[in-house]
Amino acid sequence: MRNNGSRTAFNVDGIHTPEGCQAMWHALIKDPGTGIAVLDSEGTVEFANDTIVRFFIDMTAEEAVGKSLEKLFPADFAAERRAYIRQVAESGRPILIKSIWKGRRIRSAVHPIPTSEGRLNKLLVITRALTSDDDARDVKDDFEVIEARVSDLGELESLTPREIEVLTLIGQGMSIKQIAGTLNRSPKTIENHRHSLGIKLDTTNRVQLARIAYEAGLTASPPRE
């Protein structure tokens, strides 16, 4: 192992053998919390592991293989992701997409996979939960970081705009009195909103509500327990 400035390079005998590559691929697709998919340049799924389908769709990995983005997702999401795929295929450079889907903050790294002839006709997508608003900061030199426009708030879709405001401020650690002052409403009104949040989200616990706000991307920092 040698250190090249801020980068670390590894020289491991046998790592480029078929057996070594197969072992690394198997470790990657089995890594807990890591979603993996391989797409062709037209956006058709050629491979998916169980984790990535849990992030995005309600079906098994086997059911997703062979389907296009348009068959798997709403039209606006499919169109946006197809544009990202086209960007990577044309530029040959990876991108990092930060998004909210099914109520969770996630990031997807999209890498071009060149063939032996040098053509870019496949893409590797690696998706993980986004645990901090700063997660993408250290990779900006290698990736273009993109904030997805299309989102799915999951269970938060049932909330009113005012309830989302209140949930966001709870996630920021504000008290009922502070929220009331910020929104120019009475504490009783804010308590009513929190009661409604409790019914819709099945919890009135402030830490749990703050956790929901964080996981949905409404706040940048996780709540303090």
Q: Does the structure show a pLDDT above 80 at 50?
A: yes
168 in a structural domain: yes
108 in a structural domain: yes
- DSSP conformation letters of 42-84: TSBEEEE-HHHHHHH-SS-HHHHTT-BHHHHS-HHHHHHHHHH
**Quick one: pLDDT at residue 72?**
96
**Domain containing residue 48:** 17-147
Which of 103, 118, 147 represents a domain boundary (last residue)?
A: 147
How sure is the predictor about 191, in pLDDT bands with cuts at 50, 70 and 90? very high
Q: How far is CA 78 from CA 69, 155, 186, in A?
A: 5, 21, 43
**Quick one: pLDDT at residue 153?**
85
Report pTM.
0.76
The verdict on 21 and 98 lying in the same domain is: yes
Give me the chain's average pLDDT, please.
Answer: 86
209 in a structural domain: yes
The verdict on 172 and 106 lying in the same domain is: no
Q: Would residue 138 be called left, alpha or beta, if left means φ above 0 and alpha means ψ between -120 and 50 degrees?
A: alpha
169 in a structural domain: yes
Give me the number of domains the chain comprises. Answer: 2
- CATH number, domain containing residue 194: 1.10.10.10
Cα angle value 99/54/211 (rounded, 5°): 55
Question: What is the distance between the alpha carbons of residues 187 and 95, in angstroms, rounded to a whole number?
Answer: 44
Residues 90-139 pLDDT 10s: 899 999 998 889 888 899 999 999 877 767 789 999 999 876 544 545 55
The verdict on 115 and 48 lying in the same domain is: yes
Residues 151-187 pLDDT 10s: 898 888 899 989 999 999 999 999 999 999 999 999 9
How sure is the predictor about 202, in pLDDT bands with cuts at 50, 70 and 90? very high
Strands 120-129 and 104-114: antiparallel
Q: Inter-axis angle of helices 161-171 and 187-201, to 10 degrees?
A: 90
Residue 135 sits at φ, ψ, to 5 deg, of -55, -35
204 in a structural domain: yes
Strands 45-48 and 95-101: unpaired
Please count the other Cβ atoms lying within 10 Å of the Cβ belonging to residue 187: 14
Residues 139-152 pLDDT 10s: 556 789 998 999 89
